């Protein structure tokens, strides 16, 4: 047994205020002391490093140890963030708003953070109950706060939790980017190295936000797209995926005048165990099966799903020719993004400096929409911390089901406001005798036949992803299948002023392939985009490209 790891574990145990993780760690140390190899391996996994604080904040599995999410790690993060904010404004009293969702320990981590912020001399405001991430992002701007913290792991597996950070002031309520992320991480590390969390000052003199903050979010979000005439009678299904979206979303629906949906009863209430899904992400196979069953039983026209913290939106429609009696399909994030982007482009006509924005892995079709409507277009690195900063943006999206439709009030993806905007599209189309599938046809008629796909490789050891990316750099592909690579970009070399661990290949037939490690999961993601002469041609091109990419990945692994 490595005595350094064992010493770290004992030091951690001595400062852990949580009975559950103390008991868990004490038992593990005892087993490791007796020579239990499994316990020794487990301790190494927990203490050989720590969860890294980056531009996505913290996110990881719950449990004891520096490489897990727990009260010690959160206390260090809160104290380090407080020190960063005090250094940023040494003469003032920074204000921090704290929110939390329905995951295990989210409320505990949020209260710990509020107490530590207050103890550090900050004005700490805790949201009144578990609420969606977009409400926290809204509150940072609405209250003029210097910063915000949301305790959530969004759509991660059930045993994960996380810590997402926003900055006000010149950052306007967006998530953190460099150099702030590195400065915060260094501040957290100093706290972890120099002080026991038991010695950190705490105070219960934090504020509980007034309900008026939630009311203001409801009012602003309902104003995104009030229900058009003829919305009554629309039949649709909604699932909260065991998350916190429904209470707030229901209030927005009522304020905007939309008919209530048929809800998926098994998934409507917050439940951090996520009992009906193995992975609470609408993108994952099987996650929307209960919603599809509910839609068939209620003869619904479409399904809307939000992820557990309601910052993402998924939409599903019946397969053509089956009237909902048979199959359903979830629209891709690109399809929803392009429909919402077209809506935004039409609304922004003639607006000086208005732009559309998306991440570099999202459909190039948004650029085509911007050009057609004489708007600026910005392609950014992945994440709304970048999209939200695009100059003049009136709409932004990324293919992973994230949409920003109201940048004046929320500078992050927002599944609730996006749902309202999409409901406006669907009900307006219904008034014209059209379906969502017909809207996709109209989109294609306007910009052409774009098709997108994705191949993901999930790994046990995240270092495998770095190895695969290094192999691609060492032996750059000259072709994928029978199609030659026309241009290869390594964004680590920053040729386009973007930066990031991204490899982008443009093929001679106009197709595009992008390799990128996931920022929130142990995955290597590969994004595929094609444009064909017809729907059938683009679908065939996408199938051929996916096969070529899978063959390349097989060789890498």
In this prediction, residue 308 has a pLDDT band, given cuts at 50, 70 and 90, of very high
Mean pLDDT within 342-364: 96
Q: What per-residue confidence (pLDDT) applies to 323?
A: 46
The residues facing 125 across adjacent strands are: 97, 207
The residues facing 95 across adjacent strands are: 123
Q: What per-residue confidence (pLDDT) applies to 142?
A: 98
| Model pLDDT for residues 87-139, shown as the tens digit of each residue | 999 999 999 999 999 999 999 999 999 999 999 999 999 999 999 999 999 99
* Among 299, 301, 302, 303, residue whose Cα is nearest residue 241: 303
In this prediction, residue 246 has a pLDDT band, given cuts at 50, 70 and 90, of very high
CA distance 251 to 255: 6
**324 has pLDDT over 60:** no
Q: What per-residue confidence (pLDDT) applies to 496?
A: 54
Q: What per-residue confidence (pLDDT) applies to 55?
A: 67
Q: What per-residue confidence (pLDDT) applies to 557?
A: 74
| Model pLDDT for residues 136-154, shown as the tens digit of each residue | 999 999 999 999 999 999 9
Give the neighbor-by-neighbor strand order of the sheet with 402-404: 376-380, 355-359, 393-398, 402-404
Residue 154 annotated as catalytic: yes
Mean pLDDT within 453-477: 91
Q: How far is CA 432 from CA 82, 256, 342, in A?
A: 54, 20, 17
| Model pLDDT for residues 42-79, shown as the tens digit of each residue | 999 999 999 988 767 899 999 999 999 999 999 999 99
On whether the CB atoms of residues 111 and 129 are closer than 8 A, the answer is no
Sign of the dihedral through C-alpha 37, 40, 46, 50: negative
In this prediction, residue 412 has a pLDDT band, given cuts at 50, 70 and 90, of very high
| Model pLDDT for residues 149-172, shown as the tens digit of each residue | 999 999 999 999 999 999 999 999
| Model pLDDT for residues 276-299, shown as the tens digit of each residue | 998 999 999 999 999 999 999 999
* Residue 269 Cα to chain centre, angstroms: 21
Is residue 304 classed as helix, strand or coil in its secondary structure?
strand
Domains defined for the chain, CATH in brackets? 49-210 (3.40.120.10), 211-425 (3.40.120.10), 449-556 (3.30.310.50)
| Model pLDDT for residues 522-553, shown as the tens digit of each residue | 889 999 999 999 999 999 999 999 999 999 99
Task: Provide the token pair at 210.
Answer: 């007034």
Provide the percentage of residues in the chain whose pLDDT is more than 70. 97
Q: What per-residue confidence (pLDDT) applies to 498?
A: 62
For residue 243, the 8-state DSSP code is S
Mean pLDDT within 200-211: 98
The number of C-alpha atoms within 13 Å of 490 and in the hemisphere containing its C-beta is: 11
Q: Which of 66, 113, 154, 174 is catalytic?
A: 154
Higher pLDDT among residues 2 and 297, named by residue: 297
Q: How far is CA 92 from CA 82, 89, 95, 146, 191, in A?
A: 13, 6, 9, 11, 22
**471 has pLDDT over 70:** yes
**320 has pLDDT over 80:** no
* Residue 365 Cα to chain centre, angstroms: 21
* Among 269, 309, 305, residue whose Cα is nearest residue 133: 309
Q: Which residues contact 505 (CB under 8 A, 6 or more apart)?
A: 477, 480, 485, 487, 488, 489, 512, 513, 514
**272 has pLDDT over 50:** yes
Q: Which residues contact 364 (CB under 8 A, 6 or more apart)?
A: 450, 512, 529, 531
On whether the CB atoms of residues 109 and 74 are closer than 8 A, the answer is yes
Q: What per-residue confidence (pLDDT) applies to 497?
A: 56
On whether the CB atoms of residues 150 and 166 are closer than 8 A, the answer is yes
**352 has pLDDT over 90:** yes
Q: What per-residue confidence (pLDDT) applies to 536?
A: 93
Task: Provide the token pair at 449.
Answer: 């036949």
In this prediction, residue 555 has a pLDDT band, given cuts at 50, 70 and 90, of confident
* Among 426, 378, 418, 376, residue whose Cα is nearest residue 400: 418
Q: What per-residue confidence (pLDDT) applies to 292?
A: 97
Higher pLDDT among residues 557 and 432, named by residue: 432
Count of other CB atoms within 10 angstroms of residue 298: 14
Sign of the dihedral through C-alpha 415, 417, 420, 422: negative
Omega prior to 179 cis, within 30 of 0: yes
The residues facing 305 across adjacent strands are: 239, 314
| Model pLDDT for residues 382-404, shown as the tens digit of each residue | 899 999 999 999 999 999 999 99
Chain position carrying tokens 């939106």: 313
């Amino acid at each position: 047994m490595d005595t350094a790891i064992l010493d770290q574990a004992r030091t951690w145990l001595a400062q852990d205020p949580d009975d559950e993780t103390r008991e868990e760690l004490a038992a593990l140390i005892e087993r490791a002391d007796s020579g239990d190899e499994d316990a020794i391996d487990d301790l190494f996994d927990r203490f050989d490093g720590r969860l890294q604080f980056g531009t996505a904040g913290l996110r990881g599995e719950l449990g004891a140890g520096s490489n897990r999410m727990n009260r010690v790690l959160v206390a260090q993060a809160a104290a380090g963030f407080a020190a960063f904010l005090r250094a940023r404004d040494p003469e003032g009293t920074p204000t921090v708003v704290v929110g939390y969702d329905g995951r295990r320990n989210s409320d505990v981590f949020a209260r710990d953070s509020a107490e530590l912020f207050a103890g550090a001399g900050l004005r700490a405001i805790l949201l009144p109950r578990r609420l969606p991430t977009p409400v926290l992002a809204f509150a940072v701007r609405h209250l003029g706060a210097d910063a915000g913290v949301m305790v959530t792991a969004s759509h991660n597996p059930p045993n994960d939790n996380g810590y997402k950070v926003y900055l006000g002031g010149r950052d306007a309520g967006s998530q953190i980017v460099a150099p702030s992320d590195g400065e915060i991480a260094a501040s957290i590390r100093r706290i972890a190295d120099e002080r026991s969390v038991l010695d950190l000052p705490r105070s219960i003199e934090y504020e509980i936000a007034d309900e008026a903050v939630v009311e203001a979010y409801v009012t602003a979000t309902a104003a995104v797209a009030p229900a058009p005439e003829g919305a009554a009678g629309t039949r649709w299904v909604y699932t909260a995926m065991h998350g916190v979206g429904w209470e707030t979303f229901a209030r927005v629906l009522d304020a905007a005048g939309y008919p209530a949906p048929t809800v998926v009863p098994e998934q409507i209430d917050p439940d951090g165990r996520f009992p009906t899904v193995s992975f609470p992400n609408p993108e994952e196979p099987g996650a929307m099966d209960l919603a599809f069953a509910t839609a068939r039983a209620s003869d619904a026209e479409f399904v809307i799903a939000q992820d557990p913290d309601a910052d993402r939106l998924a939409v599903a429609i019946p397969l053509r020719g089956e009237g909902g009696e048979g199959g359903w399909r979830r629209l891709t994030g690109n399809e929803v993004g392009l429909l919402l982007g077209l809506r935004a482009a039409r609304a922004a006509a003639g607006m000086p400096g208005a732009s559309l924005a998306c991440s570099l892995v999202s459909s190039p079709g948004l650029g085509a929409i911007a050009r057609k409507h004489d708007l600026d277009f910005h392609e950014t690195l992945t994440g709304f911390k970048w999209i939200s900063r695009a100059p003049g943006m009136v709409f932004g999206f990324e293919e992973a089901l994230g949409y920003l439709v109201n940048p004046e009030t929320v500078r992050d993806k927002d599944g609730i406001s996006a749902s309202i905007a999409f409901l406006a599209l669907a009900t307006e189309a219904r008034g014209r005798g059209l379906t969502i599938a017909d809207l996709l046809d109209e989109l294609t008629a306007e910009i052409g036949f774009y098709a997108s796909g994705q191949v993901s490789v999930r790994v046990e050891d995240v270092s495998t992803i770095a190895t695969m990316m290094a192999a691609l750099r060492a032996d750059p592909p000259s072709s994928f299948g029978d199609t030659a690579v026309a241009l290869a970009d390594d964004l680590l070399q920053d040729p386009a002023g973007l930066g990031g661990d991204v490899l982008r290949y443009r093929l001679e037939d106009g197709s595009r392939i992008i390799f990128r490690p996931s920022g929130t999961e142990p995955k290597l993601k590969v994004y595929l985009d094609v444009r064909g002469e017809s729907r059938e041609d683009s679908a065939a091109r996408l199938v051929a490209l996916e096969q070529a990419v899978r063959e390349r990945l097989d060789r890498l692994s």
